[in-house]
Amino acid sequence: MEQIKAVIFDMDGVLLDTESMCDKTWAAALAEKGVRNDLGAIDKCRGTNLSDTLRILKDLYGKDFPAEQFMKRSGELFHEMEASFGIPVMPFAAQILKYLKPRYRLALASSTKKTSVCRQLGNAGLLEYFETLTTGDMVVHGKPDPEIYALACKSLGLEPEVCVAVEDSPNGIKSASSCGMRTIMVPDKVQPDKELLPLIWKVCGNLGEIERIL
């Protein structure tokens, strides 16, 4: 096993508790359109970028579903909530980044667009920890495709084999694993199943537990 040189973090559901906010805004946006939120759409879309999310929504709700309008409305509701209450930081997020920074190179691989990543991490006081940011608007295919993690490793000038990904979603784990990285899963909304476990190097109950591994 080659020596680990970098740790690459997902953002949503790992560093920031945006997933809980998205659950509420998706449910509200679906209700406005008279659509029942019972197809597990949001779980299938966790970790994906916008283009893949639109495709998944069409697959689930039918080709006539106004996916673009739905995402726009969900985004509006999210921004209203963010402006009113802010975005909660996940437990131990600042602590683990402070611990890792002197020991490894740190990067981000988030399916969220760059402007939102910079704003949200900046407001949380976490942006300064990352050497590079790879975001959803920089790739053609989002997670579970390996493209975003391949690009994140490239941004550091490192091979995937010496990088570790920290993820909360199955799509994220699949993306990093298929890129050739070791993966740490810190489950948020979705627990790993028997099919996902072989792709995971370590499972942690929270970010603080990573100190025992790295």
Active site positions, annotated:
10, 12
Tokens 């909530």 correspond to 81
Print the SS3 string covering 86-115: CCCECCCHHHHHHHHCCCCEEEEEECCCHH
Q: Is-contact 106 129, C-beta < 8 A?
A: yes
The CA-CA-CA angle for residues 40, 18, 101, to 5°, reads 125
Could you tell me the sign of the dihedral formed by the alpha carbons of 209, 47, 152, 164, in that order? positive
